[in-house]
Structure 1
Amino acid sequence: MKVIKGFLLTILFTLISQIQSLAQCAMCRASVENNVHTGETSVGAGLNTGILYLFIMPYLIAMVIGYMWYKNAKKRKSKFVFQGEKF
């Protein structure tokens, strides 16, 4: 029952937060369109770079945490090996 409640709360949170993210996309689009009409196209390239930066950061953080977890698990495993015997 707890799993179902957690799943439903996750879906509800996702639906609520998506409304806010769509509003931000409309603001970015309006900003880029306004700059293109005035002849400045460098803002669009900067916006794309910012999007890629925001896209990569969570994956980079997850990779660093995974690497640290792996090294820690490997170190703990080597502590339990004593004279060729595993405990």
Structure 2
Amino acid sequence: MNNGLKKYLLLLVVVFLSAGAQAQCAMCRAALESSDSGIKPEAVNDGIVYLMAFPYILVGLVGFAVYKLRKKKTAKAE
């Protein structure tokens, strides 16, 4: 297996293993345990993960766009 394929496989494993991680901070957990508001902690966890995902997606898209632009620029130079 070449190094590039190993890196992609490792990235996929890390992404899929981290999907089940708990995303609640200690303060959110304490507030949910002490209140009887009817909010399920799983719903709060899902909301936190949902909000956390977008900055990573945006950074990934910007990085990909920069990569494509640099690749196109070096192809024109050759």
CA RMSD of aligned residues (A): 2.1
Shift in Å, 1:62: 1.2
In structure 1, the residue matched to 2:50 is 53
Q: Partners of 2:42 and 2:69 in 1: how far apart? A: 41
Shift in Å, 1:76: 0.7
Is 1:80 aligned to residue 77 of structure 2? yes
Is 1:68 aligned to residue 65 of structure 2? yes
SS at match of 2:40: helix
More helix by percentage: 1
User: Which has the higher relative contact order, 1 or 2, with Cα contacts under 8 A spaced 6 or more apart?
Assistant: 2
Please identify the structure whose Cα radius of gyration is greater.
1
Aligned structure 1 segments of 4 or more residues deviating by more than 2 angstroms = none
Q: Partners of 1:43 and 1:69 in 2: how far apart? A: 41
Q: Partners of 1:57 and 1:25 in 2: how far apart? A: 22
In structure 2, the residue matched to 1:44 is 41
Aligned residues: 52
- State the TM-score, normalized to the length of structure 1: 0.48
Shift in Å, 1:25: 5.5
Q: Partners of 1:71 and 1:25 in 2: how far apart? A: 41
- State the TM-score, normalized to the length of structure 2: 0.53
For structure 2, the residue ranges without an aligned partner over 5 or more in a row are 1-24
Shift in Å, 1:44: 1.0
More strand by percentage: 1
